[in-house]
């Protein structure tokens, strides 16, 4: 496995991302917040397992007093890091696998409501922290990309809080998380956050057992290269027409990574819209194959990887490569 990333490449990619995302932020609107109890949809036969869960949606605020928030483009330094986290929890008494999702630069959990709803309806708890400096409501967020250095730690801290709640009889999460089935996922700068928390020596969290990177920035969080060493299954998804983070860079990451790793090309897809709540031709396919990925890696579904490959292979929309 070749190391991925260098300090020069980090700066170049981060500048490209910041400039590109500025244009996205100026044009993207926010969808309505999901309801507290939302009904699930159905799944396509032969690709994902048929499940229909009702689920609750609510926010928790977690405050990490051990790490500061640096001064941002429009905010002063703070002595702590505050992480408002949106949680979806399927109804049922059994423990569910958990996915922790990281939004991108000038992003927010609320723009992924359709994707998160699909995952929760399929039986996955979803927790999505709002990063203090890079979310779209933070003043000058587009200039705060360097707070990436702190975001893998945010993900681990949020996971700590969720697992503590899982052991707390007074919490609605009591006994509801399967601590042995944990997925990390993210979009764009959130993809870089996911690479960091799963594969970077600075902040690798060995509790995660599956990783998904959507239109991700391959940026090492520290000066060390990423070690894509295959210790957990990795899915990389990227649009062929991504003008923010070029497709070739994401595919190079796939080539450099040790197996098991899968790569899904979103044919003609741009940067964020295929994955966020924008209305695109890819929506149903992305929801289907990402759910199938969690089925294969967290859901203990028989023939899960075959089902995933079927779901991720759609003429004219998506195609999949694998190094298993």
| Fold classified for 7-28+36-323 | Rossmann fold (3.40.50)
Number of Cβ within a 10 Å radius of residue 12: 11
pTM: 0.88
Kindly report, residue by residue over 196-218, the tens digit of the pLDDT.
Answer: 999 999 999 999 999 999 999 98
What b/e sequence results for 139-161 when a residue is b if at least 16 CB atoms lie within 10 Å of its CB, and e otherwise?
eebbbbbebbbbbbbbbbbbbeb
Distance, CA of 17 to CA of 245 (rounded, Å) = 7
In 3D space, the residue among 163, 177, 224, 179 whose CA is nearest the CA of residue 199 turns out to be 224
Distance, CA of 193 to CA of 217 (rounded, Å) = 9
Distance, CA of 234 to CA of 244 (rounded, Å) = 22
Distance, CA of 91 to CA of 98 (rounded, Å) = 14
Beta strands in the chain (DSSP E): 37-38, 55-64, 81-90, 96-102, 125-130, 177-187, 210-214, 234-239, 261-266, 318-323
Distance, CA of 158 to CA of 84 (rounded, Å) = 9
What b/e sequence results for 286-306 when a residue is b if at least 16 CB atoms lie within 10 Å of its CB, and e otherwise?
bbbbbbbbbbbbbbebeebbe
CB 153 within 8 A of CB 109: no
pLDDT one digit per residue (tens) for the chain, 324 residues: 445 544 334 434 444 444 344 333 333 333 333 333 333 333 344 456 778 999 999 999 999 999 999 999 989 999 999 999 999 999 999 999 999 999 999 999 999 999 999 999 999 999 999 999 999 999 999 999 999 999 999 999 999 999 999 999 999 999 999 999 999 999 999 999 999 999 999 999 999 999 999 999 988 787 777 899 999 999 999 999 999 999 999 999 999 999 999 999 999 999 999 999 999 999 999 999 999 999 999 999 999 999 999 999 999 999 999 999
Distance, CA of 117 to CA of 6 (rounded, Å) = 37
Say which DSSP state 160 is in.
Answer: H
Side-chain-side CA neighbours of 320 within 13 Å: the count stands at: 22
208: its two tokens:
């995660």
CB 317 within 8 A of CB 267: yes
Distance, CA of 54 to CA of 207 (rounded, Å) = 27
Distance, CA of 269 to CA of 261 (rounded, Å) = 21
Distance, CA of 232 to CA of 237 (rounded, Å) = 16
Q: How far is C-alpha 80 from the chain's CA centre?
A: 23
């Amino acid at each position: 496995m070749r190391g991925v990333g260098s300090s020069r490449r980090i700066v170049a990619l981060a500048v490209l991302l910041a400039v590109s995302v500025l244009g996205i932020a100026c044009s993207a609107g926010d969808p309505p917040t999901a309801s507290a109890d939302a009904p699930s949809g159905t799944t396509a036969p032969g690709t994902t397992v048929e499940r229909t869960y009702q689920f609750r949606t609510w926010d928790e605020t977690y405050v990490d007093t051990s790490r500061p928030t640096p001064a941002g483009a429009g905010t002063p330094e703070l002595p702590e890091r505050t992480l408002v986290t949106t949680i979806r929890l399927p109804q049922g008494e059994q423990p569910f696998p958990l996915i922790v999702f990281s939004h991108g630069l000038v992003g927010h959990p609320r723009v992924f409501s359709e994707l998160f709803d699909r995952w929760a309806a399929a039986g996955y708890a979803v927790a999505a922290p709002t990063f203090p400096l890079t979310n779209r409501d933070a003043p000058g967020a587009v200039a705060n990309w360097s707070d990436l250095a702190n975001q893998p730690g945010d993900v681990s801290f949020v996971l700590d809080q969720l697992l503590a709640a899982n052991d707390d009889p007074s919490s609605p999460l009591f006994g509801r998380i399967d601590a042995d089935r944990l997925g990390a996922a993210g979009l764009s700068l959130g993809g870089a956050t996911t690479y960091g928390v799963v594969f970077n020596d600075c902040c690798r969290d060995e509790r995660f057992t599956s990783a998904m990177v959507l239109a991700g920035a391959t940026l090492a969080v520290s000066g060390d290269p990423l070690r894509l060493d295959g210790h957990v299954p990795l899915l990389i998804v990227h649009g062929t027409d991504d003008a923010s983070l070029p497709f070739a860079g994401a595919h190079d990451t796939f080539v450099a990574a040790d197996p098991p790793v899968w790569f899904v090309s979103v044919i003609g897809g741009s940067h964020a819209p295929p994955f966020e709540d924008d209305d695109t031709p890819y929506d149903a396919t992305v929801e289907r194959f990402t759910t199938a990925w969690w089925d294969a890696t967290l859901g203990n579904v028989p023939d899960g990887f075959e089902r995933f490959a079927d779901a991720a292979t759609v003429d004219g929309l998506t195609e999949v490569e694998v190094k298993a």
